[in-house]
Amino acid sequence: MGAEARTKFKNSTLTDAVLQSPVDRFEVRSRWKIFLLLVLLVLLVCGIALLWRFVKDEPVVYQQIEEHFKYGSIGSEPGGSVFNPVGGLLPPLPIFKVMPEICPDMLPGGYASLGFVFEPDQELPIGVSRRQRLGFEQVGLNCSVCHTGTYRETRESQPRIVLGMPAHSLDLQKFFHFVVNCTVDERFNADNIIDKIEQSGESLGLLDRFVYRAQLIPLLRSRTESLNKRIDILLSDAVPAWGRGRVDTFNPYKAIQFNWDLSALPHEELIGAADLPSLWNQRPRDGMDLHWDGNNNSVDERNLSASLGAGVTPVTIDHAALSRVRDWIWTLPPPKYPFPIDPVLAAKGDRIYERQCADCHAFDGSRIGRVETIEAIATDPYRLNSYTLNFAVNQYTLYPDSRYRFTHFKKTGGYANQPLDGIWARAPYLHNGSVPTLWDLLEPPANRPKTFYRGDDLYDQRKVGFAYETPKGNDRGLFLFDTGIPGNGNGGHGYGTGLSDEDKEALVEYLKTL
């Protein structure tokens, strides 16, 4: 055997001998076990992290009640409604924010152009809540989206935000149009959405990109298309536009909550838009006939019913979060009139109010919170007729087998007398918002404006209401309200129309103090 061969044989023999040593074999096996254990540990940690991300269901919480009212969740993010038309999987926050850039021709002015109220340094408008759910930060709507308004003293003034005030500039129907139409548009695709999100400065990880492409975006499109088929008649020209500051409260429920075929209903029943109400000073209202037509006398049931429109379902509603809002609005004072008041003139108006108005509208009036028949009040009947006995009966099936089950809904024959606290901030007037100012409401119906613009927050201190004329044209995207359209009639409520101009001026001055 040569020297090279002997050396090779020797090394091989020594190596085999070493590997066959019991101590070394144990070390090798131990190293492999440690390696496999580390791999398993890493996989376990990653799995737990992924599981935590996708099972986590946690809303953003606000300690101050005002912040909770503005941005806190009531459970609408996991739900689905006419305002959140994706049936349980709402657009994550990044998509919601860039949708105006995805479909810029549909909403060139962004969400603010629809009357959403933005605070400085806030990325989302008042009324939009956030929740970490299904691995994404999702958005929903809460009470304040419909119950926060603004006013300004002059055209150059900054708008003043009033919580609990009707959102008189908000166009919910256009918002719904935009969400539906943009979601089913061909531009609502993974490449475009991811590109717009990254252009906004947000970075998406590989997992997010995969889920967006494979699941989320196709699901959003398909569910929106499905919902659109169920409620498309409410978006057609056959049904009058709601306009700013108004909403059809119950017809969307018929399709969303009860799965009714809206096309099978009488056409007149589908016309039910009404003004958004105020949300302050609720304690003395409990037991009154609530909603415009007085179909319920429980503030708590009224709140539960209204929350369905914000996107909750009987399963997803956060009762504790809604109770925080309920407890706050229970004693929330009406906003004081923010401009000067003539005390002498107001004192004269007080006496006129006691003779002409207090019986129906003062908290101690004998007819406060009671329904006046449609024959007596003679205002537009469409909202009343849209709420049917059949619908009232079906409402009793919501929140079943729980202490939240509805027990107070009823069909009425007219409209309820409303308290007038904070009436200066509740324009336009009548149940359908068909009269722009208090002064116009004291005019005979034939003399009230036939058409006017809704949505301006410039305040008219003399007539008490919002500016409704646009001498330079409608350059601010306001809504032209036509009282000749079904559901928009401005007739009826002739009380006080026979007063002299001097007495009307005094009465309007006093109403500023309520």
Q: pTM for this structure?
A: 0.86
**Alpha carbon 192 to chain centroid distance?**
27
Per-residue confidence (pLDDT) for residue 29, from 0 to 100 = 64
Do 65 and 203 lie in one domain? The reply is yes
Strands of 252-376 (E only): list them: 273-275, 371-373
Do 92 and 119 lie in one domain? The reply is yes
Do 122 and 12 lie in one domain? The reply is no
The total number of structural domains in the chain stands at 2
In a domain, 111, yes or no: yes
- Give CA–CA dist 362/366, Å, rounded: 9
Do 172 and 135 lie in one domain? The reply is yes
Which of 359, 392, 416 delimits the end of a domain? 416
- Mean pLDDT, residues 206-232: 84
Which of 382, 401, 416 delimits the end of a domain? 416
Do 31 and 160 lie in one domain? The reply is no
89 vs 355, residue with greater confidence: 355
Do 15 and 126 lie in one domain? The reply is no
210 vs 362, residue with greater confidence: 362
Do 9 and 98 lie in one domain? The reply is no
Do 169 and 94 lie in one domain? The reply is yes
In a domain, 283, yes or no: yes
Do 97 and 128 lie in one domain? The reply is yes
Per-residue confidence (pLDDT) for residue 347, from 0 to 100 = 97
In a domain, 18, yes or no: yes
229 vs 123, residue with greater confidence: 123
- Give CA–CA dist 509/30, Å, rounded: 90
Strands of 273-314 (E only): list them: 273-275
Do 86 and 183 lie in one domain? The reply is yes
Per the structure, the complete domain to which residue 110 belongs is given by: 56-335+371-416
Task: Collapse the DSSP code of 128 into the 3-class scheme (helix H, G, I; strand E, B; otherwise coil) and give the result.
Answer: strand
* Cα three-residue angle 150-507-347, rounded to 5 degrees: 105
Strand partners, 133: 57, 136
Do 41 and 73 lie in one domain? The reply is no
| DSSP assignment of 92-121 | BHHHHHHHHHHSTTT-TTTGGGGT----TT
pLDDT band at 488 (very low <50, low <70, confident <90, very high): very high
In a domain, 151, yes or no: yes
Do 65 and 200 lie in one domain? The reply is yes
In a domain, 361, yes or no: no
465: which DSSP letter?
E
In a domain, 492, yes or no: no
Note the pLDDT tens digit of each residue in 354-400.
999 999 999 999 999 999 999 999 999 999 999 999 999 999 988 87
Task: Collapse the DSSP code of 45 into the 3-class scheme (helix H, G, I; strand E, B; otherwise coil) and give the result.
Answer: helix
- Give CA–CA dist 357/361, Å, rounded: 6
Strands of 228-382 (E only): list them: 246-248, 273-275, 371-373
Cβ atoms of residues 424 and 337 within 8 Å: yes
Report the mean per-residue pLDDT for the chain.
87
In a domain, 430, yes or no: no
In a domain, 156, yes or no: yes
